[in-house]
Amino acid sequence: MSELHYLSATELAHLIRTRQVSAVELLQAHLDRIEQVNPRVNAIVTLVAEQALEAAKAADAAEPGGPLHGLPVAHKDLVDTANIRTTYGSPIFSENIPEKDDLIVQRLRAAGAITVGKTNTPEFGTGSHTVNEVFGATRNPYDLSKSAGGSSGGAAVALATGMVPLADGSDMGGSLRNPASFCNVVGLRPTPGRVPVVSDTNAWYTLSVLGPMARTVEDVTLMFGAIAGFDRRSPYSIKEVFAPEPEEGVAGLRVAWSPDLGGLPVDERTAAVTATAPGVFERLGAHVEQVELDLSGAEDAFRTYRAWNYALSFSDLDRLGPNTRWNVEQGRQVTGADLARAEQARSGLYQRMAAFFDTYDVLIAPVSQVPPFPVEQPHVSEINGLPLPDYLSWMRSAYWISVLHSPAASVPAGFTTDDLPVGVQIVGRPFEDARVLRVARAFEQATGHGRRRPPL
């Protein structure tokens, strides 16, 4: 009880329901932790302590209701929070205060969670390195000289350091998975439509999703149950109610292992850690087979749709940062023929992977192609001596998966010889989010890597 901030959300929810701990006590423990460590890592960029305290008092005065009753939560600074500063990591919106909550925030509050603040993100979530002109860089708690990943880097660091037990994030090209890998926590990219996104401008865009992050798979599952569910304002929202799989373990499951997702360069340190994952699954009774993947078409499809979306979303804004501006310029060059080619490539890839998942239950692979890199470095420019053409290229192991319409989780897989976290990516059939979480939990329980705390 002396370290409430590092208990799991599931444990904390039980303590609150049984009145062993009050919501006010729990909030204060996390506020104390934020005061202690946040100045060193810069994860929570807007704190609403007084508002949170009022909400905690109200939670204590009420009967425990929702599954997250009284639990502190932080929201990524890309989602709108009513009457709380929301900058999207951009100087253009540095003083923006929305009038209403986004749907994911509404659902978390309806489940009883208490908002403590906003977590850092690069401008408009652009890139897998959390730094912006408004708040600066978020630092990796396992090595303060390293990047926390992104774009949900502030969320991952807040979790890893015990500042909150739960945090939301978003993922287009790896933004839930990459920072989870870099910071030794768990992030789930759900099947598109599981967590609805309400939009007036790009309602049919399926590459970008919202999802849960936590320190354990059980906590991610708990939070996922609160934010998943149908909403008619999202045209591809899933009506099926999410429920965890009743089975435990992975015995008998067919696991495909790809060390490089079909020929991608992977840093030797990362490769050494992720190479231990197949043996874990074999010891748990799964049937593991190394495979040669054909993800051709993923690169063109992702870049084309990403660029098109950036032009659609941000073309009207001035004073954009260099990464966002570059993406907008790429999008302005996209033609109808480009979109037709991307759609054809993605459709063919989807059908090939549907056949692949007739044989295998899940695919395991590296989350990121590199371990955490220096925080002053804008992006990864080479891997194993191989130069990369632009700032996106080092993220292919994550964004190729984004194109598949599949759920994918990042789970702690171990540490490099210089003590940097590395995650393994667990990818499932579209709509089988529960299977991915089941496999992730079995791996987590067998290894225990996620229990290693940062040396702050």
In the numeric block, which tokens belong to residue 173? 């090209």
Query: Is the confidence at residue 1, as pLDDT, over 60?
Result: no
**For position 261, what pLDDT does the model report?**
98
- The two most distant CA atoms of the chain are separated, in Å, by 62
Q: Which of 231, 246, 152 is nearest to 194 (CA)?
A: 231
Sign of CA dihedral 160, 161, 167, 170: negative
Residues 165/7, Cβ–Cβ less than 8 Å: yes
Q: Which fold has domain 4-451?
A: Amidase signature (AS) enzymes (3.90.1300)
pLDDT at 239: 96
> For residues 406 and 305, is the Cβ–Cβ distance under 8 A?
no
Cα–Cα distance between 73 and 155 in angstroms, integer?
10
- Residue 129 exposure: Cα atoms within 13 Å on the Cβ side: 26
SS3 210: strand
Give the amino acid at 395.
M
- Given the residues 76, 90, 146, 181, select the one marked as catalytic: 76
List, as own/partner pairs, every contact residues 310-316 make where C-beta atoms lie below 8 angstroms and the sequence separation is at least 24, other chains included.
312/201, 312/202, 313/124, 313/201, 313/202, 314/124
Q: Can you read off the two tokens belonging to residue 12?
A: 């904390």
Q: What is the pLDDT of the chain when averaged over all its residues?
A: 97
* Residue 175 near residue 138 (C-beta atoms within 8 A): no
Catalytic residue of the set 90, 170, 175, 234? 175
How far apart are the C-alpha atoms of 368 and 277, rounded to whole Å?
15
Tell me the percentage of the chain whose pLDDT exceeds 70.
100
**Half-sphere exposure (CA, 13 Å, Cβ side) for 387?**
2
What is the pLDDT at residue 282?
Answer: 98
Return phi, psi of residue 353, to 5°: -75, -30
- Count CB-CB contacts under 10 A for residue 94: 14
In the chain, domain spans: 4-451
**What mean pLDDT do residues 138-166 have?**
98
Cα–Cα distance measured from residue 411 to residue 443, given in angstroms and rounded to the nearest whole number: 8
H-only helix segments in 214-334: 217-227, 268-274, 277-283, 298-314, 322-332
Prediction pTM value:
0.98
Q: Whole-angstrom Cα distance, residue 404 to residue 353?
A: 8
Residue 151 annotated to the active site? yes
**Is residue 157 within 8 Å of 141, Cβ to Cβ?**
yes
10 band by pLDDT with thresholds 50, 70 and 90: very high
Burial class (CB in 10 A: 0-12, 13-18, 19+), 447: middle
Which of 81, 71, 74 is closest to 27 using CA atoms? Answer: 71
Q: Which of 79, 66, 48 is nearest to 113 (CA)?
A: 66
How far apart CA 98 and CA 86 sit, in angstroms, is: 7
pLDDT in tens, 244-259: 999 999 999 999 999 9
Q: What is the pLDDT of residues 49-96, one digit of tens each?
A: 999 999 999 999 999 989 999 999 999 999 999 999 999 999 999 999
Dist CA 277 CA 238 (whole Å)? 31
CB-based burial, 25-51: b 16+ in 10 Å, e otherwise: bbbbbbbebbeebbeebbbbbbbbeee
Give the CA distances from residue 5 to residues 56, 58, 219, 323, 425, in Å, rounded to whole numbers and listed in that order.
16, 21, 14, 35, 27
Q: What are phi and psi of 412, to 5 degrees?
A: -55, 130
Three-state DSSP class for 249? coil
Question: Tens digits of per-residue pLDDT, 278-331?
Answer: 999 999 999 999 999 999 999 999 999 999 999 999 999 999 999 999 999 999
* pLDDT at residue number 2: 55
Active-site annotation holder among 90, 147, 151, 410: 151
Confidence band, pLDDT 50/70/90 cuts, at residue 3: confident
Asked whether residue 350 carries a pLDDT value surpassing 90, the answer given is yes
Q: Tell me whether the omega of the peptide bond preceding residue 151 falls within 30 degrees of 0, making it cis.
A: yes
